[in-house]
Amino acid sequence: MTPTLAVDGLSVRFRLRDATVHAVTDLSLTLHRGELLAVVGESGCGKSVLAHAVLGLLPANATVTGTATLHPDGAPPVQLIGAGERQLRTLRGRYIGLVPQSPATSLTPVRTGRALLTETLRVHGRLPANADQVAEEAGLDPHDLDRYPFELSGGMAQRLATALALAPDPGVLLADEPTAGLDRPLVDHTLDLLRRRCDAGTAVLLITHDLTAARRVADTVAVMYASRIAEHRPADDLFAAPSHPYTAALLDALPDRAFRPIPGHPPMLTALPPGCPFAPRCTQADDACTALPTTTHGTACHHPLTPAGAA
């Protein structure tokens, strides 16, 4: 089956005055219609950069290599990496939407939520009168649409950003920390909303550091560490028997498990080691880990923990 979004060999580098940030390295993944893929990992591992690279929203000092191919329903495939801004503007929102990580900086401050939402609906060929319905679906009181963004709480702004992303009904939705700033009931509401959209056929890529959220709704999970994917497997398999030592350590840090923090710190993205980047923090590490591991059965590790990864 042809994936709705296929990312292959994606690398992103940011050129600084005296260093280069290796934000994403040789990342490959596929996202199919009706699939919810959660990308998880510690802050700063490259999760958000992945979404912005796909949408062409990186700053001028970024160098992007690899491919990201979008297969819109009823339209020819489109290569997103290297596409011009004019072409990307025809794709953003209608075919591939984004729930931004920082809605307060992405909402126009001089327009009310209602003005933003009705314009989004109109531009994408939907009835502006549906604004209240879309807001309610996102968990936002329609009365709050008449406020300006600076009058909204962080959680309300997050729900407005979610409504704006859902309004055009895109085939692919990139949700970058969509539950940030929400209390637990609204977190569950947002996750269930994404799951329903996914079950209706939308391909959803959920970027989150919340493993509980990923476990609740994801079909597949990709675990990122230091700009690379460490493990990419079906969610049920990964949570039941993690294969990469980093995944196991992340799960052990959960309050309902061992509640044990991972010792040490991730490497600087300006000075990644030549071998396995997790080796300095890993209890399984040995001399073999001075070389970069290949990915086998979805796990990039010289010493996978489960038989599936070791097969």
Mean pLDDT by 10 residues, the chain (311 residues): 95 97 98 98 95 97 98 92 96 96 89 97 93 96 96 94 96 96 92 97 96 96 98 97 97 93 95 95 96 96 78 41
User: Where do the domains of the chain lie?
Assistant: 1-32+46-85+209-311
d(C-alpha 206, C-alpha 47), whole Å: 10
CB 228 within 8 A of CB 25: yes
Q: Which of 35, 41, 8, 28 lies closest to 269 in space, CA to CA?
A: 41
Domain 1-32+46-85+209-311 CATH (choose: 3.40.50.150, 3.40.50.300, 3.55.50.30, 3.40.640.10): 3.40.50.300
Q: Which of 212, 196, 167, 252 lies closest to 38 in space, CA to CA?
A: 212
pTM given for the model: 0.95
d(C-alpha 124, C-alpha 33), whole Å: 21
pLDDT given for residue 145 in this prediction: 97
200: tokens are 């209706």
Spell out a b/e string for 264-301, using b for 16 or more CB atoms within 10 Å of the CB, else e. eebbebeebeebbbbbebbebbeeebeebbebeebbbb
pLDDT given for residue 311 in this prediction: 41
Q: Which of 150, 157, 175 lies closest to 165 in space, CA to CA?
A: 175
Q: Dihedral (C-alpha) 19, 244, 65, 164: value to the nearest 10 degrees?
A: -100
Can you say how many angstroms the Cα of residue 236 is from the centroid of all Cα atoms in its chain? 19
Cross-strand partners of 15 = 20
> DSSP 3-state assignment of 303?
coil
d(C-alpha 105, C-alpha 176), whole Å: 14
Backbone phi, then psi, for 75, in 5-degree steps?
Answer: -140, 155
Strand-by-strand arrangement of the 36-40 sheet: 96-99, 172-176, 203-207, 36-40, 220-225, 228-234, 299-300, 295-296
pLDDT given for residue 308 in this prediction: 53
Q: Please, which residues have CB within 8 angstroms of residue 221's CB and are 6 or more apart in sequence?
A: 37, 38, 39, 40, 214, 231, 232, 233, 234, 235, 238, 239
**Helices 184-199, 154-166: crossing angle, 10 deg rounding:** 10
pLDDT given for residue 306 in this prediction: 84
pLDDT given for residue 310 in this prediction: 45
Q: Which of 239, 244, 204 lies closest to 224 in space, CA to CA?
A: 244
pLDDT given for residue 290 in this prediction: 97
On the CB side of 36, CA atoms within 13 Å amount to 23
Cross-strand partners of 300 = 295
25: tokens are 């390295």
Q: What angle do CA 58, 64, 69 make, to 5 degrees?
A: 95
Can you say how many angstroms the Cα of residue 260 is from the centroid of all Cα atoms in its chain? 25
CB 186 within 8 A of CB 139: yes
pLDDT given for residue 1 in this prediction: 80
d(C-alpha 103, C-alpha 123), whole Å: 20
d(C-alpha 82, C-alpha 29), whole Å: 18
